[in-house]
Amino acid sequence: MATEIDLLVVGDYLYPMSEGLPVVRDGEVAVRDGRVLYAGPRRELGHWQAARVLGGPGRAIIPGFVNSHCHAASLIFRSLTDEGSVGKALYGLAFRLEGFVSDEEWAELAMLACADMLCAGITTINDIWHHPAGLAEAVARSGLRATVAEKVFDVHLQELHLGDYTRYRDQGEQRLRAAVDFAEAWHGKADGRITARISTHASDTCEAELHKAARAEADRLGLGMHIHAAQAPTEVAQVRAEQGCGPLVYLRDIGYLRDDVVLAHLTFADADDLAAVAETGAGYAHCPTIYPRRGVYPPLWDIKARGIRTGFATDWMMNDPFEGMRNAMHACRTLRGDATELPAAEALWHHTLGAAGALGLADDIGSLEPGKKADLVVLDLDKPHLQPFYGGYPALVFYAKASDVESVVVDGRQVVEQGRPTLFDSAAALGRVKSRVPRWTDLIGSLDAAADPQQGDCGPCH
């Protein structure tokens, strides 16, 4: 008697990212009640009675990509901070421009960002930004899975390009209250697809008491945390001047670092800092697209060798996981002088199960195994740039693109069909953002901040 299921996804190749990282030829995934019932070689005809079937010949199936650190709505800054040193462009432009963007505009950017993420095969994001409720509403509507947090800080970000670290405690307390209010309102919503974290912005943009207060609130609510750490030379210098140690040692010593913390970047972490991360079990979000643009690259090989849980992420750059994986492989091989560094299978693992592990979600997502949530991607292999397709991990990781994503499933529900979101009007979202560009262009001109992007050395990220 046939087994009734909600969805059957079939393909010439299945990359379940399960133990041993097998490649299954002529594979399939059976889904029931939003979870994987079976993932493996095709069963005999008539084994399943499926309400729906996806995929087919010339298709590959992979788990949904997990984006372990991003700022979805920050796509407003695309092309503004890509050339030269980020010091002037980021601290002089982006941090200043943020204050002129309305909550309505952040929400519109978030809606378009959900389309961007889903159409690239990203099914889970870990986001920290302004107006998190706008992103949460977009996530709920789009079908994406997300961990979302308010950005907590007690400095005026727009003054950091001047080296001004004046602390505004009332502001810090207000932003922490807003972060807690958001978490209490949204954690567990959208059938559990939305979870919350408490996130101080960076090691240097909150004084110790605010970091400690945020840690206490996260503990009270039973939530994880998310922070930028060792992302910039100025950050490291500021923490050393104030605390006499590196940023990760500092966060460990004040009781902030634990295994529920996700750390973005670690670009300028020294050996003592990395030892503090390994000691506390914190997870690491590695953003391989942004680093080469800044002319720097964190020692990923050293971080992995220390046993630090590592996942790949897009930050606020191109949301193409394939581009990110290739950037990571190329950078590591070049810097190490070793063509075997970071194999293709491992790169894909870091953007799926590894990233889920960095977020503490590996029991539910990141691989296609029975009992896990049915978050998966169907890729169209019938493209000139992918043929002939021999099926190994290099064929997929070195040659596929976000534009090869045909279908995306989250929680067993199809959220992308033929490369387009199914649950909302992405063309309308695009139109709303495009209509704002003249205003943003005028704002950028009025700030007069991007005239010389070579000035300053505030680091690679944000």
CA dist 355 and 152 (Å) reads: 23
338 and 382, same domain (yes or no): no
Average model confidence (pLDDT) across the chain = 94
Residue 450 lies in a domain: no
Range of the structural domain that residue 11 is part of:
3-63+369-421
Q: How is residue 5 written in tokens? A: 């299921």
**pLDDT score recorded for residue 84:** 58
Question: Could you please report the per-residue DSSP string of 89-126?
Answer: IIIIIIHHHHTT--HHHHHHHHHHHHHHHHHTTEEEEE
133 and 159, same domain (yes or no): yes
Q: Which of 141-150, 182-191, 288-297, 321-330 has the lowest mean pLDDT?
A: 288-297
CATH code, domain carrying 163:
3.20.20.140
Q: Which of 11-20, 192-201, 288-297, 446-455 has the lowest mean pLDDT?
A: 446-455
Q: SS3 for 89?
A: helix
| 104 Cβ contact partners less than 8 Å away, ≥ 6 residues apart | none
338 and 385, same domain (yes or no): no
Residue 444 lies in a domain: no
**pLDDT score recorded for residue 226:** 98
25 and 13, same domain (yes or no): yes
- Which among 358, 389, 406 is the end of a domain? 358
Binned at pLDDT 50, 70 and 90, residue 230 comes out as: very high
**In the 8-state DSSP scheme, what is residue 38?**
E
Residue 9 lies in a domain: yes
288 and 262, same domain (yes or no): yes
50 and 122, same domain (yes or no): no
CA dist 440 and 62 (Å) reads: 38
49 and 69, same domain (yes or no): no
261 and 402, same domain (yes or no): no
**pLDDT score recorded for residue 447:** 82
Residue 453 lies in a domain: no
313 and 390, same domain (yes or no): no
Binned at pLDDT 50, 70 and 90, residue 80 comes out as: confident
389-413 pLDDT, tens digit per residue, is 999 999 999 999 999 999 999 999 9
Listed in sequence order, the DSSP H helices in 157-299 are 169-186, 208-221, 233-243, 247-253, 271-280, 290-294
**pLDDT score recorded for residue 89:** 61
26-78 pLDDT, tens digit per residue, is 999 999 999 999 999 999 999 999 999 999 999 999 999 999 999 999 999 99
- Taking residues 305-334, what's their average pLDDT? 96
- Taking residues 277-302, what's their average pLDDT? 96
| 113 Cβ contact partners less than 8 Å away, ≥ 6 residues apart | 72, 73, 75, 135, 138, 319
Residue 161 lies in a domain: yes
Count of domains forming the chain = 2
Residue 453 has pLDDT above 60, yes or no: no
Does residue 388 have a cis bond before it (omega within 30 degrees)?
yes
CA dist 276 and 258 (Å) reads: 10
* Ramachandran angles phi, psi of 59, nearest 5°: -125, 150
CATH code, domain carrying 404:
2.30.40.10
| 125 Cβ contact partners less than 8 Å away, ≥ 6 residues apart | 67, 70, 72, 117, 144, 145, 146, 147
Residue 151 lies in a domain: yes
* pTM of the model as a whole: 0.96
Classify the C-alpha dihedral 448-452-457-459 as positive or negative.
positive
- Of residues 62 and 163, more confidence is placed in 62
Listed in sequence order, the DSSP H helices in 376-450 are 393-397, 426-447
Distance of alpha carbon 80 from its chain centroid, rounded? 20
**pLDDT score recorded for residue 448:** 65
Residue 454 lies in a domain: no
248 and 306, same domain (yes or no): yes
Asked if 16 and 63 count as a contact pair (C-beta separation under 8 A), the reply is yes
Residue 449 has pLDDT above 80, yes or no: no
45 and 194, same domain (yes or no): no
**pLDDT score recorded for residue 312:** 98
Residue 437 lies in a domain: no
Binned at pLDDT 50, 70 and 90, residue 83 comes out as: confident
286 and 396, same domain (yes or no): no
| 237 Cβ contact partners less than 8 Å away, ≥ 6 residues apart | none
